[in-house]
Amino acid sequence: MLNFIYNIILLLLIPILVPLGYIIAYRKGEDKDYFERIGFIKIDKNIEKSIWIHCASVGEVRSIKTLYSTIKREFPDLSIVISTTTATGKRIAAEELNPDVAILLPIENRWAISYLLDILQCKLFIIVDTEIWPNLINTVHKKIPLILINGRISNRSFKRYKMLQFIFKPLLNKFTKIFTKSPEDTDKFKELLTTEDKLKTLGNIKFLNFSRPEDLGIIPPNKRILVAASTHEGEEELVIDAFLDIIDLDIFDQLVIAPRHLNRIDSVKDLCTKKGLKISTLTKYNSDVDAVIVDRFGSLEYLYSLSLKIFVGGSIVNIGGHNIFEALQFKKVIAVGPHMQNFQEIFTLALKYNVVKVIENKKDLIDYLKSQYQNADFENFFKALEFSSREKLNPIIEEIRDAID
């Protein structure tokens, strides 16, 4: 009954959502493939056997690089289909992974999904991270095995899932297997499903995906910069105060602040100005200012590659931390706060091999900014990550093997 009501609502909304969505896509320059979202997808290849991997956007696409190459190596005759929710995600998938088929997901169009499963000869469907699309899940479940990898439920989402457990429990039960990011996530799924038969804790598969950032050519390579990345309210002030306290030591030429949410740029600008810093934005870069505010997406790895020191936010305030591998891949000891529970696995390894410094206050941050870390063991840190990555992928590979045999 719930599924019937859901689809009636979708049908009523289509006359509004389709043209509105097209206008938005046109304004963003993403109208070329827009109608794939509705289900108008042309497959111009003869696919004999495939698996379909769905990724929400760029982050999820890049997170499966190691998995993708492993599948290609283990099953050279198997075609791989990648769908994304965003146009940028599709472009990155095509450019960086080069799958046999890259498409935009026909959102909640069960007829299009069913048709594609047949024409692509799909044997297994993989959803990356916790993407819950009822029609997608119900349609796939009727035809082929469905697994979830990198499964995670935030504390905020968990409250909503529990309140609507009568909706989410049947959907989650449609998965053949759910591979979670942490024991804490496994416990949350277990509470929702009231069973652990489908669950296995693998850890985060996003790590060990090295990338070569595009040289944006904005900041001179000889500029000595301190990068504060993915910051939240309260963290910028801490970094600014530490930067100002050591400004006379001539360690850094500039502070670069990349707020986690771009809608906070104005407030970060106001804070910098209040503290007496001359500022510019990254898109209008000025070499002579004290601080640069990042006002565009997709710049972090470029900035990490140039930096002398890095602070990754979401960790002083209790957000749970953000991805630190993107910074650590450049073999630079980074600073984070104590709240790294969302990335506990890599954080624990980083502590073990002395490639991360935990700070709790301004004094800690100043000590980090002034110190050299000669005992950082990046070689064994990356070896440990590689071993962990291989171990994690084995159960997924076995699910694929069972599905295609």
Q: Is 108 left (phi over 0), alpha (psi -120 to 50) or beta?
A: left
Residue 331 Cα distances to 64, 155, 166, 365, angstroms: 22, 32, 47, 19
CA 375 to chain centre: 30
Q: CA-to-CA distance for 41 and 43, rounded, in angstroms? A: 6
* Both structure tokens of 153: 């439920």
Identified catalytic residue from 36, 60, 108, 399 = 60
CA-wise closest residue to 52 among 83, 74, 98, 87: 83
Cα separation, 251 vs 315, whole angstroms: 24
The answer to whether 191 is a known catalytic residue is no
Beta-carbon contacts of 65 under 8 Å, excluding residues fewer than 6 positions away, are 96, 97, 209
What is the rounded CA–CA span in Å between residue 12 and residue 9?
5
SS3 label, residue 342: helix
When computed from its CA atoms, the radius of gyration of the chain, rounded to whole angstroms, is: 23
Q: What are the beta bridge partners of residue 146?
A: 125
Burial level of 396, CB count in 10 A (0-12/13-18/19+)? buried
* Catalytic residue ranges: 60
